[in-house]
């Protein structure tokens, strides 16, 4: 019946065959259909469905963006902090020209970065940035999850350019520890009895290293357990500096352990015995290794901008 009524309402009277008339007839049919749909309330219903679908898609995209940016802020997540950064010089002290240069640049890392894919690479800092202070960072991990296969932070140490310890704390992992890995980590059950929560440690560590050049050995592993991304131009990874391998008389492309590099270049023994590693000793050794090639490596990085 409704189909019949639609035809009756919408069917225009037939007349001449001119293009103008056919256009008018088409317009009349359109108006007739619209009038019928409005009369039955179907037009408003159709518009509401379209509006609801649009709002649903908008909310879905908003929810997806929230998940990419860390999701629920009540749970520890990856940090992508804004930071003010400066270009390091060879002496680690501000030059007179740098002191008169007052402009600063603020950056923020994209929230879509992936902890499993991002590895810090050596890049020169932009010319618009001034002198930066260096710190060395090292983390010790324990195993959580099935058979202790998942790495989680249990201790973090940070030292200055001069080797002074400015941070060294035990950190309680988010999940129950299945393997303390004491032989390598040096972590024992009693060390974590009064350890600070992960989210507190994360905030403290990020506050210290933000805006500084961070030196480390295979440091992407440290940043991963910290759930944090440091700018590549402010990262110096001693496991990826070919000049150090050359100094040690080792293949340039080989990933050499910190223990081996320290022995070959500094003539020092670290990570000895069965007591496990010391993140303080490792951080100090890393900074000493970097200082051996600092001037040459920073000059090499600066040439990247010039070229």
How far is Cα 198 from Cα 172, in angstroms, rounded to an integer?
Answer: 6
CB atoms within 10 A of CB 229: 21
**Whole-angstrom distance, CA of residue 246 vs CA of residue 156:** 29
207 CB contacts (<8 Å, ≥6 apart)? none
112 Cβ contact partners less than 8 Å away, ≥ 6 residues apart:
68
Most confidently modeled range among 38-52, 119-133, 160-174? 160-174
Residue 276: closest CA among 191, 189, 181? 181
Measured N-to-C along each axis, helices 219-226 and 198-209 cross at an angle, to the nearest 10 degrees, of 130
Least confident span in 20-29, 91-100, 164-173, 259-268: 91-100
Q: Which domains does the chain have, with CATH numbers?
A: 134-306 (3.30.420.10)
- Of the listed ranges 27-36, 71-80, 296-305, the least confidently predicted one is 71-80
> Residue 2: what pLDDT?
46
Which token pair is 137? 């960072």
Helical H runs in the chain? 2-10, 19-40, 42-68, 96-100, 182-185, 198-209, 219-226, 242-247, 258-261, 279-306
Measure the CA–CA gap between 44 and 50, rounded to whole angstroms.
10
pLDDT by residue (tens digit) across 61-89? Answer: 666 555 444 444 445 566 654 443 333 44
Least confident of 122-126, 159-163, 221-225, 258-262: 122-126
Condensed to tens digits (0 to 9), the pLDDT of residues 223-270 reads 999 999 999 999 999 999 999 999 999 999 999 999 999 999 999 999
Mean per-residue pLDDT for 92-120? 38
């Amino acid at each position: 019946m409704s189909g019949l009524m639609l035809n009756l309402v919408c069917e225009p009277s037939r007349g001449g065959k001119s293009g103008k008339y056919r256009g008018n007839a088409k317009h009349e049919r359109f108006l007739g259909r619209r009038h019928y749909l409005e009369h039955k309330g179907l037009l408003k219903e159709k518009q509401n469905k379209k509006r609801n679908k649009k709002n649903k898609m908008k909310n879905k995209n908003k929810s997806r963006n929230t998940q990419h940016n860390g999701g629920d802020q009540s749970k520890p997540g990856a940090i992508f902090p804004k930071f003010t950064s400066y270009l390091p010089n060879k002496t680690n002290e501000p030059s007179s020209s740098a002191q008169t240069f007052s402009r600063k640049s603020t950056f923020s890392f994209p929230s879509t970065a992936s902890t499993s894919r991002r590895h810090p690479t050596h890049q020169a800092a932009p010319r618009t940035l001034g002198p930066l202070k260096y710190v060395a960072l090292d983390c010790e991990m324990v195993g959580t999850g099935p058979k202790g296969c998942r790495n989680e932070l249990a201790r973090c140490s940070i030292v200055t350019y001069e080797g002074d310890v400015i941070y060294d704390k035990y950190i309680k992992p988010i999940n129950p520890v299945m393997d303390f890995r004491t032989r390598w980590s040096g972590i024992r059950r009693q060390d974590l009895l009064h350890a600070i929560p992960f989210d507190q440690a994360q905030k403290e560590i990020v506050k210290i290293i933000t805006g500084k050049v961070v030196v480390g050995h295979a440091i992407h592993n440290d940043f991963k357990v910290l759930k944090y991304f440091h700018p590549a131009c402010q990262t110096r990874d001693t496991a990826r500096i070919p000049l150090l391998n050359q100094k040690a008389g080792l293949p340039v492309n080989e990933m050499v352990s910190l223990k081996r590099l320290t022995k070959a270049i500094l003539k020092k023994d670290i990570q000895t015995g069965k007591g496990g590693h010391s993140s303080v000793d490792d951080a100090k050794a890393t900074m000493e290794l970097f200082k051996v090639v600092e001037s040459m490596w920073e000059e090499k990085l600066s040439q990247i901008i010039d070229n």
